[in-house]
């Protein structure tokens, strides 16, 4: 089994997204703070946003929910090979998943654009107390969160691995994704073409529902633990 997760599972842990319409986030424009072109032009905009919404603290207070934990359990029992995720919050790893393919990067890691040195978001938060934009302590280069901004390519090794897993699995389980953006809109199709069953758990209907073998319009945090707790039906064994 391979799981594919999207924003739906993170939302259940209280992770805000740029689609959120309330709070501090509306003060900042995602077409600026999440765009590579704008970032290179005016990196301070992103770092003011990062500082004002107290970005690392947001993620610190968000905990993996029962949906994340259920996927980690499935990996431990050998039924799940990996999680492919569009999320950037690192909650799968925190829940105990060890094989996570991150299509959009990870927001808890900040990387120097010159020398690739990595910093934690907490460390960089401290650095922004004295300087915005923060600069690499080794080479003075510009720092950028290790996430895919609008206008950037997805990490090609992650995309390659995601396809390889989709092509080899028996069951492709979508959790909390509406499957509209590339490559989310194509990986499940590829899994199906290669013979996998497709199961979709999402609060709303998705464009892929007609292709799926089963669709559950439900929350991941309540549904996944129930599925795992349900014992598999026993095959009838002839009495001797
Ligand atoms: Zn550097």
Write out pLDDT tens, residues 133-170.
999 999 999 999 999 999 999 999 999 999 999 999 99
Please return the burial class of 131, using the count of CB atoms within 10 Å of its CB with bins 0-12, 13-18 and 19+.
Answer: exposed
Nearest residue to 100 (alpha-carbon basis) of 9, 36, 19, 186: 9
Q: How far is the CA of 124 from the centre of ligand 1 (A)?
A: 13
Name which CATH class applies to 2-229: alpha beta
Sheet holding 2-5, edge to edge: 100-102, 82-85, 2-5, 171-175, 197-201, 214-216
- What is the value of pTM for the model shown? 0.88
In this structure, how many other beta carbons lie within 10 angstroms of the beta carbon of residue 132? 16
Strand partners, 171: 197
Evaluate if residue 61 carries a pLDDT over 80: no
Closest by Cα among 83, 27, 20 to 53: 27
pLDDT reported for residue 22: 55
68 is catalytic: no
In angstroms, the Cα distances linking 82 to 114, 181, 199 are 31, 21, 15
Of 89, 106, 103, which Cα lies nearest the Cα of 159? 103
CA of 86 to the centre of ligand 1 (A): 27
Distance 111 CA to ligand 1 centre (A): 8
CB 15 within 8 A of CB 93: no
Of the residues 48, 104, 160, 186, only one is catalytic, namely 104
Measure 122 CA to ligand 1 centroid, in angstroms. 17
For 43-57, the pLDDT digits (tens) are 999 999 999 888 777
């Amino acid at each position: 089994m391979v799981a594919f997760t999207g924003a739906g599972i993170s939302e259940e842990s209280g992770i805000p997204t740029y689609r959120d319409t309330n709070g501090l986030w509306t003060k900042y424009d995602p077409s600026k703070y999440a765009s590579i072109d704008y970032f290179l032009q005016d990196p301070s905009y992103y770092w003011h946003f990062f500082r004002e919404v107290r970005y690392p603290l947001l993620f610190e207070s968000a905990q993996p929910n029962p949906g994340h934990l259920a996927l980690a359990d499935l990996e431990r029992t050998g039924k799940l090979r990996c999680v492919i995720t569009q999320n950037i919050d690192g909650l799968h790893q925190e829940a105990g998943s060890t094989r996570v393919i991150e299509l959009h990067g990870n927001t808890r890691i900040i990387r120097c654009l010159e020398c690739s040195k990595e910093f934690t978001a907490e460390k960089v938060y401290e650095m922004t107390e004295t300087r915005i934009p923060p600069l690499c302590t080794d080479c003075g280069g510009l720092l950028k969160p290790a996430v895919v901004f609008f206008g950037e390519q997805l990490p090609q090794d992650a995309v390659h691995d995601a396809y390889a897993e989709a092509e080899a699995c028996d069951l492709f389980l979508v959790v909390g994704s509406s499957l509209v953006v590339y490559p989310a809109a194509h990986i499940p199709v590829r899994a199906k073409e290669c013979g996998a069953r497709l199961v979709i758990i999402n609060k709303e209907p998705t464009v892929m529902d007609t292709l799926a073998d089963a669709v559950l319009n439900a929350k991941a945090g309540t549904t996944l633990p129930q599925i795992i707790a349900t014992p598999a039906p026993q095959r009838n064994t002839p009495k001797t």
